[in-house]
A and B are shown apart, each in its own frame.
Chain A
Amino acid sequence: MRVGVFICHCGNNIAGTIDVARVAEETRKIPGVVYATTYMYTCSEPGQEEIKEAIKREGLDRVVVAACSPRMHEMTFRRTVEKAGLNRYFFEMANIREHISWVGEDKEFNTRKAIDVVRMAVAKVMQNRPLFSSSFKINKRVLVMGGGVAGMQAALDCADGGLEVVIVEKSQSIGGMMARLDKTFPTIDCSICILGPKMVDVAQHEKIKLYAYSEIDEIKGYVGNYQVKIRKKATYVDWSKCTGCGACMEKCPSKNAYDYFNFGVAPTKAINIPFPQAIPKKAKIDPNYCRQFTKGKCGVCAKICPTKAIDYEMKDEIITEEVGAIIVATGYSLIDMDMLPEYGGGRYPDVISGIQYERLLNASGPTAGHIERPSDHEEPKTIVFVSCAGSRDKSIGIPYCSNFCCMYIAKQAILTKDHISDSQSYVFYMDIRSPGKGYDEFTRRAQEEYGVHYIRGRVSRIYPKGKKLVVRGADTLLGTQVEIEADLVVLATAVISNKDAAYMAEKLHISYDTFGFYVESHPKLRPVETNTSGVFLAGACQGPKDIPASVGQGSAAASKILALFSGETLESDPAVARVNINACVGCLKCVKTCPFGAIKEKELRDGRVVADVIETVCAGCGVCTSTCPCGAIQLQHFTDNQILAEVNALCLI
C-alpha cells in the first residue's frame, strides 16, 4: 500500500499554530506512508493538481489530506483523487484546523496532536475499501409545505421549470402573512395587489395541485422517492360544490367566532371565507363556534347554500402523494402580547400588535381601512409604536432581532399620517435597523417628511389613565424619563417559529435551532439546503426575514431542485449500512432501532430470516451498527475494523 499525505497550511489558519513541516516529517515515518508534503492552500487549483501529480509520480493508491473539516472540502478532494484514477473512498481527511489549530494556542501541543490525528487517518485509509454508488430513478414532483409568499414563489418557479408541484397549506387560503398586510415597505405598494395575481397564478397553473386546509401526516422515503401522507382536514363544506358566494356567511347566526385571519381584531361568523381574495375562495365551518356542533341544532347554512355544499358529517381525509423533493416554507408566528405583561397587551384593548394594526389599516380589513381604537371605535390621534416588543430580550428567551419590524413600524407610521392627517405618531426604538436597499431612506422619510417622533429608549410600562394609555419609557438621548399619553399603542411583537416547527422538523429529519427555526446546511454557502438531501428551505421558517428575502429564497430553493432534477437518475451514497448475512442471526433489533425505517426483514432461500438494508433509504447514521449483538450490520466506510484501526493508531504506540 502506498499512502500519500498532504498537510495544508491554510495560510496561517493552520501553520500559525501547528508546525506543519514537523507533522510531515513525522508522517513520513509511519509504515505505509511513501510520500508526505505540505502545501499553502491544498484546496486551490494548483493544490489539487499537486495531489493528482503525486498520485501518478509516486504511484500512490491512498491519499490523506490534513486540513479543514471534511464538511468543508471532503467532496472536493474525493473528486480530485477520482480524477487521478483512485476510488473516491481511498481518501481520508484529517481535520487539523477546526479540531486543532483554531482551538488550541500551544504550538508544541497542537503539533503533537496533529501528528496523532494524521496517524489515525493513515490507519483508517489503509483499511478503506473501494465503494461504488449506484444510480436510481427519481420522481420529479415537488412538495411545497406552506403557501406563504416564499412557498408560492418556489412553487411557481418549479412549475414554470416544468415540474409538477403539490402545495400543502395548513390554513384555509394561501397567501400567508403577506395576504394580511396593507402596504409593503419600502415602496408602499399594496400588498394584496402584488400578491393576489401570484395567488391566482398558483391556483390556475396546470402543474400545481393545491391542498388547502391540509397538513402533512407522514413523510416516508428519501430524495427522489418520497411518499407523503396528507391530511385534508374536515371543512364541513364540500369544496367541489362551494362557489364562494358567501350566502352562508351572511346568514350564520353565530357571530362571535375567533377570526384567525384578522388576528382577533373583530369577531367573525362560524362559517366564513377569510378574506375576499382568498384562494381557494371556499367557506369553512369552525366547529368550536358553529351552533350545529356546539348546540346540536341550527342548520341555517345548509338551508341557505344554493349548491347544497354543507356537510356537517364530513371527516378528515388522508391522501398519499409521491414526490421527489420537498420545499419547507412554513413561515413564522408572533408572540402573544401577554408575554409582555408590563405593556398590558390583552388586558387593555387599545394595546394591539403590529399585525392587528395592519388589519386596521387594510381596506378589506374589519374596519374597512378606518383606523379606530378597539375600545370605543374612536379615531386615535396619538399613536405610540413600541419596537422590539419581546425581541432582543434575553429575559423572555428571545435574544434575536425580528428583522423586519423597524421597517414595518416606519411604514405603519407613514400610513397613519396618510389616514389621519392631524395625528402624531411616536416610535420607541433601541436602534433603527434598516440595512436593505432603499430602507434607510425610508425610515428617514418617516421622520423627516411625516414628522414621526422617534424616541430612543425602551418602554417600561403602559397603564391606563381615563380613556388614554400612558406609555412610560426612557429617552436615552436626553437622559430622562418620558411619558406619552396615547390613544392607541402598537407593539411590534417578536417573531417566533411556529408551534409545530420542531414536530415537523422531526418528520422531515431536518435540524432546527434553539428557537425552532430550521437550520440551513451552511449559513453562507448553502442557505436553502438542509443536511437532509432532497429537503430545502424558503422564507421565514429559517429565521425572521422580510418579503424580498423570502421570495429570493423561494426562487433559490426552486432552482436547486431544478438542478437536482436535471437528470433522470440520482446517485446513491454507498456509505450506508450493509448486512453480512452469514453473521446475522435474524433478531431484527436493527429494524426496530433504525430511525429512518431503512431496514427490512428478508427471507433467504433456505428459509432463514435476516435483516436487509434499503440502500436508498439508509441515511448512514450507524445506529444499527451499535445495536447489532453480532456485529453483522456494518456501516460502510465506518466499519468496526476501520474505527478500531484509528483507535489503535492513537493508543497502541
Chain B
Amino acid sequence: MKSERVAAIVGVAESDLGKTPGKNVLQLQAQAAKLALEDAGLTKNEVDALFTAGNWAWAPSLMLAEYLGIQPKYTDSTNIGGSSFEAHVGHAVAGINAGLFEVALITYGSTSRTNPGRSAFPSALTAQYELPYGLPTPVGAYALAAMRHMHQYGTTSEQLAEIAVATRKWATLNEKAYMREPIEIADVLNSRLIAEPLHLLDCCLVTDGGGAVVVVSKRVASRLNKKLIWILGHGESHSHNTIANMPDLTMTSARESGRAAFEMAGITHDEIDIAEIYDSFTITVLLTLEALGFCKPGEGGAFVSGQRTAPGGDFPMNTNGGGLSYCHPGMYGIFLLIEAVRQLRGEGGKRQVENAKLALVHGTGGVLSSTSTVILGRD
C-alpha cells in the first residue's frame, strides 16, 4: 500500500430511515450529524468544514449550517447526484491535505417517500431535447443502457435479477432494511415491466432517510479513541448529463474514477474484501463492475451469476441490502460509505464479512452521468 494516510473516517450514522412522516430534511440531517459526531467523539464546535448535497434549498449549505449552528471555514455543496458524497470525501481529503481544515462533516437528508414535492416546471435548458419524448427519468435512461448491453454482449434479465436477489439476501440480515422478504430470480422476472428490459424489482426503493460521515485529519484522528478507517484513494469523473449524450451506453466514467482511486491507494482489485456499489438499478451495478475493472466489458452478467455477491459468496457486495432493498432516498451515496465503515470496523452484526480490511465504495449519479470511487482501509 503506497497511499499516504492523510485523513480518516471516524464517525458515521444514519437518521431514521424508511418512512419518516412529519420530519423534514434538516431534522434528518441534524439527527444523523449528531449521531455521527457522537460516534467520532467530537463536538459540533470542532467541525470546521461542512459538506452537503440536495435541491431542497436555494443554497443548501447556508440553510444547513445556520440550522446546525455551525460556521464553517470551508464549505462544499457539490451536487453531481447520488455520487456526491463519495466526491465530498475526496474533496475533504484534498482540503485536509492542503491544511485548510481538520474536521469535515458530510450530511444528507431526504423525505422523498413521504414528501415527493411539487414545483413549477423549471426552464429545461439542454433537457428540452429529451423531455418531450416522455422517457421516465431516471429509470428509462438506465433501461436504454441495459438494452444496449444486452444487444452488445448477450446479457440477460436473469443475470440482472441475480443482483436483486443477492442484495435482498443481505437485507434479510439488516434489521434497518426496508424490504426483508427473500426473493427469487423468478420474482424479479415476474414483477411488472417499468421500462424494458427493467422490471420493478430491478429498481431501487424510494424511501426517506439521512446520513452523516465525519472525516478528520490524521492529527485529529490520532487523539480519538476510535478504530480509524483511512481514506486510501479516491477519484471522480462525469461523462455526460442527459442519457442521449452518454458516449457509450455500456461504459461509465467509473473507468476513470476507479482507476484514479486504485492508483492512489496502490492496491489491486484482488485485495478488495467488500464492495459497496451504487445500485439505483441492477444494471447500474453490472456496468460499474465492468467499468471498475472487476471483470472485462461484457462479462458483468457472468461475474454476478451463481449468487456470487450474496452472503457467503466470494464477492461480498452491498452488504446492507443496498438501494434495492435497504433504503434509497434519491441520492444514496452516503449510505455506501456508512456501511463500508461499519464493515471495516467489524460492526456489521449478522451481516459482518469476516476479516474485511479493504473496501471499495462507488457512487453513481444522474443517469450514469457521474461517478466517484473511494477506497477505504483499516489499520
Q: Do A and B come from one complex?
A: no
Q: Residues of A with Cβ closer than 8 Å to B?
A: none
**Residues of chain B at the chain A interface (Cβ within 8 Å):** none
